[in-house]
Structure 1
């Protein structure tokens, strides 16, 4: 597919950083390279750190910079041969904005009730787990269900999926505002997202991201929203998006994502980085389960722009009508 889906800048600095610095993700401890025996606990912990990092679109170099640790130390940890101290693990958890328990093990072993809940959910398919999550969210909701949730359409996915292009087209046809969340973040911070990352770090960027989403939800009862690719990695922000917007995951193959970004004239993902495609695949794999929480999924691969938009529009209209025919307003 040779469609140039968007002329907008890269929608997530974390993704951009991950694509540009793949070279930092290589090089493990010599003991690991020699095939030294690894402790299963340390190996599993290394896998979790690598997964958490991929979900946030952070390279090992970025994580090292923000934690003050060396890349080699992190490489050892992720390879399962680094016996990190508790203080180091706390630094990593803080930078990745997750509980320490999520780094070192499964927090669902913490109590008998957790174990019973886990056993109840064990082996369920994704559809059943999604129904359980929605039921729990409604049970523990602090506020009444947002009556305008299905009037706000939020597009999620990696850059190159077509969020900006399809978002503008949907907004025009639905006669509602089109909002790029990245632009709102820039307005709130007074500088581009890339500068937020370089000056204050990924955690500060995610705080601005959350504030931007809250501002958009407060201001717009009806809108089409293009969200940054890494928004899904922050559970609080993503849960807010799911609660207040009807979400659509725009899918594409990794090759399609890369081809579209390069076709837009942005060669940064490929600049001096032969492993860019591996990085993109790793980020996509790390986030797929999170993107899969969307209300609807639409694959844009191997479609012309016109065909893809018409199919997306029709499927979206059918889903909205089927889920709440009395609430949907037709423009």
Structure 2
């Protein structure tokens, strides 16, 4: 990847909240739909600020000055996304049915996750950052937008999606770097971590594993049952994560090898599935039904031959995420009820 060109794109594609026209009127909604949508955007603001903290930490970790500058633009992106989400929550809260606040599971998970990123090696942190981008930003936010089915949401999400496309491209770039011989040599030449640091990292990871399942259930899996009822985007997101994890698996981080190994046991051993299936899913932080493989062997072989840039582009262009346009937002058809 040409980081200089990416940084120029990051600067060129900045936008302001005032670019959006907030003067419209939301389409009529049933009470349950309005309440769900307002809650989703309320949680979205929290998720975006969590991403902001993660990118701020990645900027601190970056050795390349251009990469550091790229991550700083991502910090600005995520704060803008959070403010937009807050305004969308207010915009769609037409009837004031209740007072809304971020899900408690999100409030509990956020500090643990930030603590994790600050206390584990950057290759492990990148696993969670990339997974969050694919699951929350590609699958969840686009599904919420389709569910809202309203011009205001579309206008905001088209701009947010363009930002997230850059984030995901860098996520894949960093995944490639952390699986490289260059990074392996760098780690090999560093002095061993102290036992205190190792213990702190282990505790941080344990806290996240403990709180991940309720967090993802509250802000991802439960909402996806409503906004993605056929599970198309959900399966697509996990397929992309699985394919990325399998690529150069032998040179990936220890965490990726462990997660892939647990999933392999789950899919290849009926005894392991029966006895340890639910425990394995808890370790991976996902519902047990998502422990299945969603890719074919042919897809795995094809992915193994592709570059990371091509994998990122293919993920963004997948049918389930077809609302995306890399360079410019592409208007999507809406129902006749749109204002």
What is the TM-score with the length of structure 2 in the denominator? 0.24
Which structure has the highest helix share of the two? 2
What is the TM-score with the length of structure 1 in the denominator? 0.25
Structure showing greater relative contact order (alpha-carbon pairs closer than 8 Å, 6 or more residues apart): 1
Which structure has the highest strand share of the two? 1
